[in-house]
């Protein structure tokens, strides 16, 4: 059985880690590279770095930052933010990233998913999807959660898989930063719909929430930020609890 993965997410702005609630009211959570090294030591399976202002400011993710991260880590990491071309992906992978995450650019140019998966292999391509429920329907948002595309979330997820994405990073904007638990009802529907791995994001607040996202949400990996950044859930303690609940994890 494939082991479930624990993935700290570092939303990066000017080299610092920031975290908000429902994508708003950002506060500083420390140096991104120092936190990354700590998480690797504690047993994180992977890391995700998102340059959260890259797309809306029309900047590219800093290559030098990725190189510095690669020097410090011995676990896989994904980089996202402002990625919209094969050239940019090539630069990031050469700098040391194991995967890239695309979001707004995938919605704007869906063919980009096909191009990147063919060029670099689907295992390198993560499509991030930020979803929010409005009037009992789930819609895809872009530009750091600021723009409603009008796209039906489930329809878009199916298209993303068909176009060659290797993995989905699915964030519930309704749950993001609330520490009220993952959106397991939506996640289990997605798991029943898709055949590629799903990284669940948005809502982690307790060890029980992680247990639930694997048992009830059927997620392949769980991503969280503030509970790790502010020391609320130590990764070794979390993995020990998951193992005791017969959830396969790397200890």
Give the catalytic positions in this structure: 11, 130
User: Which candidate, 18, 37, 13, places its Cα nearest to that of 29?
Assistant: 18
Measured torsion, CA atoms of residues 196, 88, 224, 168, in degrees rounded to the nearest 10: -20
Rounded to an integer, what distance in angstroms lies between the CA atom of residue 78 and that of residue 98? 6
The two structure tokens encoding residue 123: 């295992």
Smallest CA-to-CA distance from 51 within 90, 22, 14, 104 is with 14
Structure tokens at 126: 């993560």
User: In whole angstroms, how far apart are CA 43 and each of 38, 73, 123, 229?
Assistant: 9, 12, 22, 14
Cα dihedral sign, 15-16-20-25: negative
């Amino acid at each position: 059985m494939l082991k479930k993965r624990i993935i700290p997410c570092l939303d990066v702005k000017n080299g610092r880690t920031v975290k908000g609630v429902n994508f708003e009211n950002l506060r500083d959570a420390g140096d991104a590279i120092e936190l990354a090294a700590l998480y690797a030591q504690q047993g994180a399976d992977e890391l995700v770095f998102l340059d959260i202002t890259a797309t809306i400011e029309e900047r590219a993710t800093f290559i030098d930052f990725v190189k510095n991260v690669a020097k410090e880590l011995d676990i896989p990491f994904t980089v996202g933010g402002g990625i919209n071309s094969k050239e940019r992906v090539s630069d990031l992978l050469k700098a040391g990233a194991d995967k890239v995450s695309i979001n707004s650019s995938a919605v704007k140019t869906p063919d980009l998913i096909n191009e990147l998966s063919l060029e670099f292999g689907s295992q390198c391509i993560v499509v991030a999807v930020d979803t929010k429920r409005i009037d009992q329907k789930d819609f895809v948002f872009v530009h750091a959660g600021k723009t409603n595309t009008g796209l039906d979330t489930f329809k878009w997820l199916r298209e993303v898989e068909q176009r060659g994405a290797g993995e989905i990073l699915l964030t519930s904007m309704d749950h993001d930063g609330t520490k009220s638990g993952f959106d397991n009802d939506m996640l289990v529907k997605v798991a029943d719909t898709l055949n590629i791995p799903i990284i669940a994001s948005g809502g982690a607040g307790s060890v029980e929430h992680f247990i639930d996202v694997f048992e009830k949400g059927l997620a392949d990996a769980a991503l969280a930020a503030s509970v790790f950044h502010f020391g609320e859930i130590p990764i070794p303690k979390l993995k020990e609890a998951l193992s005791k609940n017969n959830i396969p994890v790397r200890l």
